[in-house]
Amino acid sequence: MNSFNRQASTGIRRQRGIGLVEIMIAVTLGIIVTGAVVQIYLSTKRQNDMQGGLSGRQEVSRYATQLIQRDLQMAGFRGCLRDLGTVVNTLNNPADFLNNYARHVEGFEDVVSADLPGEVTTGGNVVVADTDVLVIRTVDSPDLQLTANMVNSSSDPVTVIDLDPAAPDTPTTGDIMLVTDCGGSAIFEVTGFDAGTGTIAHDAGGGAPGNSSKNLARRYTAGAQLFTLRTTTYFIRANAQGIPGLWRRVGTGDPQELAEGVEDMQILYGEDTIGNDQVPDLYRTADTVVNWNNVVSLQVALLVSSVREQVADADPRTFVLLDEAAVGPFSDGRLRQVVSFTVAVRNRLS
């Protein structure tokens, strides 16, 4: 019995405790494994952040380019009448910024907000300094058609009648509209719309801006087209988080953020200076354009960055946007690229 107890006791003593060496080995192995896991996690996260930054940057670039190209391609649209045709603007103060539809595109070079028209900066709208501003004047809705001839002569065209009341995007008082056929075009403000008869009134008088005359200088007949007009301004502005992006303002409406992460926009305007052949002979900055009506194409460059910081190492590169001096390098860890494209203003081409 005593011999058995001694053997059992000896066996228990041999099983108890772990030595210091074993503990140190276990701790070291744990640190190595944990460090490896953390390193894998951080590496994977960085790769995911970088991939997300690249994808976001590409999406912003594509979207911003698409918006500007679409509007530029429609600048100066006059239906079947080319933009060089006769356009009668009956608005009060037709040369004012919002009403100057004879100027299909317009720009401002390396601006500060104080240099811009009040219609752009009203309401505290602050444009990022030393970026360009682009103004496009174009149609904004599917075309509507006259379903009957105007009943009055061109000397006293009171209404454009018999517009289909079931048509979408029916006019409202205060809309600026274009009526056009292959012989001419006229711009007026809607002063009233009767949905029952489809009659659009465009009486002379005050308003915003109002009409200086109700004479459209032409008796438009059934089949003539009607469009709503808009003046759209594209610019660079910082949002509430301080991140710059591409914004636009339609008329004096609220500014709209279109694409976050666009840090700069620079534009050159292709001006037809020789022979009136609708071919750009010189590309000029906005402050050196001689005649805006001769601008037939534009070169646009955008500096686009990822929104999140520290997704990449410091970037030693510099970036050049058209005629501007190089910018960079940058150390904020954002991914940047320059997106450049050329757009023909097709309504100015033969």
Strand partners, 319: 327
Question: pLDDT tens across 325-335, in order?
Answer: 999 898 887 88
The pLDDT, as a whole number, for residue 156 is 45
Any domain includes 320 = yes
12 or 111: which leads in pLDDT: 111
Strand partners, 225: 145, 180
Any domain includes 84 = yes
* pLDDT higher than threshold 60 for residue 132: yes
The pLDDT, as a whole number, for residue 127 is 95
The pLDDT, as a whole number, for residue 49 is 58
Mean pLDDT of the region 129-156: 79
The pLDDT, as a whole number, for residue 74 is 87
Say whether pTM exceeds 0.75. Answer: yes
Residues 173 and 194: their CA atoms lie apart, in Å, by 10
241 or 160: which leads in pLDDT: 241
Mean pLDDT of the region 343-347: 89
Q: How many helices, marked H, and strands, marked E, lie in the chain? A: 3, 18
221 or 5: which leads in pLDDT: 221
Any domain includes 14 = no
The pLDDT, as a whole number, for residue 45 is 62
Domain count across the chain: 1
- In percent, the amount of the chain with pLDDT more than 70 equals 82
* pLDDT higher than threshold 90 for residue 195: no
Mean pLDDT of the region 198-215: 87
234 or 145: which leads in pLDDT: 234
Mean pLDDT of the region 292-306: 92
Decide: helix, strand or coil at residue 49. helix
345 or 158: which leads in pLDDT: 345
Residue 82: domain span: 51-348
* Confidence class for position 249, pLDDT limits 50, 70, 90: very high
Any domain includes 36 = no
Question: pLDDT tens across 150-166, in order?
Answer: 776 544 444 565 566 56
Mean pLDDT of the region 90-99: 93
- The answer to whether the beta carbons of residues 141 and 158 sit under 8 Å apart is no
- The answer to whether the beta carbons of residues 214 and 156 sit under 8 Å apart is yes
Listed range (75-84, 134-143, 153-162, 163-172) with the worst mean pLDDT? 153-162
Residues 31 and 68: their CA atoms lie apart, in Å, by 55
Any domain includes 290 = yes
At position 104, the amino acid (one-letter code) is H
Cα–Cα distance list, 317 to 260, 307, 331, 332, 335 (Å)? 22, 18, 10, 13, 11
Any domain includes 5 = no
43 or 133: which leads in pLDDT: 133
* pLDDT higher than threshold 50 for residue 255: yes
Any domain includes 11 = no
Residues 95 and 227: their CA atoms lie apart, in Å, by 20
Other CB atoms within a 10 A radius of the CB of residue 178 amount to 23
* pLDDT higher than threshold 60 for residue 14: no
Any domain includes 266 = yes
Mean pLDDT of the region 107-121: 90
As a whole number, the mean pLDDT across the chain is 83
184 or 107: which leads in pLDDT: 107
